[in-house]
Chain A
Amino acid sequence: MSLPKPVMRGLLGKRLRLHLPLAFAFALTCAAAVKFGVTEPRKRAYAEFYKNYDATKEFNNMREAGVFESVRPSGE
């Protein structure tokens, strides 16, 4: 029984040849997932919200609900 000599060199290089591209691909995928799953929807949500936002109307609604201390509802 004569075993073949095991591979002695280039072990790190061999591992990196597979795992380095894998690592980059994984990192980029994660970044893309966050960008398109979180940040883009959030930017769209904010754009939508402020497209037809009437600050005065909202203020008056909040005032009537009685949440402010500087202005009371118009009835009082």
Chain B
Amino acid sequence: MLASQAAVRGLQRSLWRALSTARCVQAAHGKDVSADVLDCSQPQYCNRPDTPLPDIPFVRNLTADQMKLKEKEKGPWTKLTMEEKLALYRLSHELTYAEMRKGTNEWKTVVGVILYFMGFTGLVVWWQRVYVYGDVPQTFSEDWVEKQTKRMLDMRTNPIQGISTHWDYDKKQWK
């Protein structure tokens, strides 16, 4: 009986192993998970106009040249050339304010897809009107609407600014 229990557990484990992603398995084994997983317990870099100084610099692992530049930065900044200043900016920031604010053409895609789906919905509704809906009530028939309008005019409905002002009661016709 213990052997069969062990066999079942072994089967379950292999099934779980097969279904789970490699990353889960790695993490379960305590291995270092791949770099593209965000560790939110650490400070993150962000490009936000309201955060001019993000928590960490953009480039963490500096090359030898970049280290030299960082050393030079510790001295008087007037000695830095324009290219060096820009290089230092790009080390600590990914985008400039202009680049952050630039925006994309994404809205055109969004509007286009919205209109496309609205069009498709229109076709669906049309099909429904033809093949699904039953007849409209008799109160919409020409005859009924005529009698209804005559009754409204006889009652002097909205006589000041509405429908009865458009009817000529003497000539018995629309004005």
A58 located at the interface, meaning its Cβ lies under 8 Å from any Cβ of chain B in the complex:
yes
**Chain A, Cβ-Cβ closest to B85:** A1
B9 located at the interface, meaning its Cβ lies under 8 Å from any Cβ of chain A in the complex:
no
B49 located at the interface, meaning its Cβ lies under 8 Å from any Cβ of chain A in the complex:
no
Q: Are A45 and B151 in contact (CB under 8 A)?
A: no
Q: Interface SS of chain A: helix, strand, loop or mixed?
A: helix
Q: Interface SS of chain B: helix, strand, loop or mixed?
A: loop
A45-B169 CB under 8 A given contacts A66-B154, A67-B154, A67-B155 = no
B160 located at the interface, meaning its Cβ lies under 8 Å from any Cβ of chain A in the complex:
yes
A62-B161 CB under 8 A given contacts A1-B82, A67-B151 = no
Q: Give, as a whole number of angstroms, the nearest-CB distance from A58 to chain B.
A: 6
User: Which of A46, A58, A61, A65 sits near B160, CB closer than 8 Å?
Assistant: A46
Interface string of A49-76 (1 = CB under 8 A from B): 1000000001001100111000000000
- How many A-B contacts are there with CB distance less than 8 Å? 19
Q: Are A45 and B160 in contact (CB under 8 A)?
A: yes
User: Which of B82, B151, B161, B169 sits near A61, CB closer than 8 Å?
Assistant: B169
Count A-side interface residues using an 8 Å CB cutoff: 11
A42 located at the interface, meaning its Cβ lies under 8 Å from any Cβ of chain B in the complex:
yes
B10 located at the interface, meaning its Cβ lies under 8 Å from any Cβ of chain A in the complex:
no
Q: Are A62 and B154 in contact (CB under 8 A)?
A: yes
Q: Give, as a whole number of angstroms, the nearest-CB distance from B107 to chain A.
A: 26
**Chain A, Cβ-Cβ closest to B160:** A49
A-B residue pairs in contact (CB < 8 Å), sample of 19: A1-B82, A42-B161, A45-B160, A45-B161, A46-B160, A49-B159, A49-B160, A58-B156, A61-B156, A61-B169, A62-B154, A62-B155, A62-B156, A65-B154, A65-B155, A66-B154, A67-B151, A67-B154, A67-B155
Task: Give chain A's interface residues, CB within 8 Å of chain B.
Answer: 1, 42, 45-46, 49, 58, 61-62, 65-67
